[in-house]
C-alpha cells in the first residue's frame, strides 16, 4: 500500500495530500464508500454539513479497522450559519455528528460576499481554533480579494483554501496568492466532474503512461502541490484513484495539462454565489 505524502500547514499540522471526498454521496452509501477508501489507504476524508453525511463519515471511521486517530477529517460550515454565534453552534453540530472527539480542519464553505460580512464568521473559527477544538481552520471558495481582506484583519491566517481546480480551471493566480500567503491550496472537482477525461492531451499522456486519464489528472494535482479529493462510490475507481504514487509526469506533460486552462468552471462563481439553504 502506497504512503500518501503530507503537506505541512502554516500552523505545523500535517495534512495528507490525497483525500477522499464525499460530496454528492448519499448518506446511505457513505459508510460503504468511506470504508472502502480507508481499506484502500486513504487517510483524509473531506465532508461538510451541506453534504448531509457527516454522521456517516464518523460512523465509517469509528467502525473501520484503521485507528481513527490516523484519519484526518475536514468539514465545512453550512451557508445558512454565517455570523459569530451561528457559526459556533454549527461547529457544535459538526462535532456531534462526526463523534470523533476532534475536527482536524474546519472551513467556511463559501464567502457569500453578496449577502453579508464573512469576517464575523471567521472570528468564530478563530475562537474554535484558539480553544483547540479544531486543529486547523480555513476557507473554501475564497478569491484573492476575499483572502486579502480576511488576512489583513485577522489574527489567524487560514490554513487552507479549498477551491474548484482542474485542468480547465487551473487557478494559477489564486494558487500563487495562496502560496505567497502560506495557505495550502485544496482542489475540489479535480477532474471537472469527468469533463476533462476525454481531452486528447490527457488521453495521450494516459496511454503513454499506461494509466487512466483520471490517474494522470490526479498526479498532475499532486505534483502541483495541491491537496486533492477524488470522489467515487465504485470500489474499483476508489482504488484506481489511489494508485498515483508509483509514476510521475515529466515537465512537458505537466505543462501540457496546465496548458488546457480555459478558466471554465463546473460550479458557481464565488464572487456572486449566494445560495443559503432554508
**Which residues are the active-site residues?**
51
Q: Nine-digit cell at 109?
A: 464553505
Query: How distant, in Å, are the alpha carbons of 22, 168, 255, 260, 267 from that of 264?
Result: 23, 6, 18, 10, 9
Beta bridge partner(s), residue 107: 76, 138
Beta-sheet strands, E only, within 146-237: 160-164, 184-188, 227-228
Within 13 Å of residue 83, how many CA atoms lie on the same side as its CB? Answer: 7
What does the alpha-carbon distance between residue 105 and residue 136 come to, in Å, rounded to a whole number?
A: 5
Beta bridge partner(s), residue 164: 188
Contacts of 194 (CB under 8 A, 6+ apart): none
What does the alpha-carbon distance between residue 167 and residue 221 come to, in Å, rounded to a whole number?
A: 9
Amino acid at each position: 500500500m502506497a504512503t500518501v505524502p503530507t503537506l505541512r500547514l502554516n500552523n505545523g499540522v500535517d495534512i495528507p495530500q490525497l483525500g477522499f471526498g464525499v460530496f454528492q454521496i448519499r448518506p446511505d452509501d457513505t459508510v460503504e464508500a468511506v470504508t472502502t477508501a480507508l481499506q484502500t489507504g486513504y487517510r483524509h476524508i473531506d465532508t461538510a454539513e451541506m453534504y448531509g453525511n457527516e454522521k456517516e463519515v464518523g460512523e465509517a471511521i469509528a467502525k473501520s479497522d484503521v485507528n481513527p486517530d490516523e484519519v484526518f477529517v475536514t468539514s465545512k460550515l453550512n451557508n445558512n450559519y454565517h455570523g459569530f454565534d451561528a457559526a459556533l453552534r454549527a461547529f457544535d453540530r459538526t462535532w456531534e455528528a462526526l463523534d470523533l472527539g476532534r475536527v482536524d480542519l474546519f472551513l467556511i464553505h463559501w464567502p457569500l460576499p453578496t449577502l453579508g460580512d464573512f469576517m464575523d464568521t471567521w472570528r468564530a473559527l478563530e475562537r474554535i481554533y484558539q480553544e483547540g477544538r479544531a486543529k486547523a481552520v480555513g476557507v473554501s471558495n475564497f478569491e484573492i480579494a476575499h483572502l486579502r481582506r480576511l488576512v489583513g484583519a485577522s489574527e489567524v491566517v487560514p490554513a487552507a483554501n479549498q477551491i474548484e481546480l482542474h485542468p480547465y480551471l487551473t487557478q494559477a493566480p489564486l494558487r500563487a496568492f495562496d502560496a505567497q500567503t502560506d495557505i495550502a491550496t485544496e482542489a475540489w472537482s479535480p477532474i471537472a466532474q469527468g469533463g476533462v477525461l476525454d481531452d486528447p492531451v490527457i488521453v495521450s499522456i494516459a496511454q503513454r503512461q499506461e494509466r487512466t486519464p483520471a490517474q494522470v489528472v490526479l498526479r498532475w494535482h499532486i505534483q502541483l502541490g495541491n491537496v486533492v479529493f477524488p470522489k467515487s462510490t465504485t470500489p474499483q475507481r476508489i482504488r484506481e484513484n489511489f494508485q498515483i504514487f508509483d509514476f510521475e509526469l515529466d515537465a512537458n506533460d505537466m505543462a501540457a495539462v496546465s496548458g488546457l486552462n480555459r478558466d471554465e468552471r463546473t460550479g458557481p462563481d464565488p464572487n456572486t454565489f449566494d445560495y443559503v439553504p432554508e
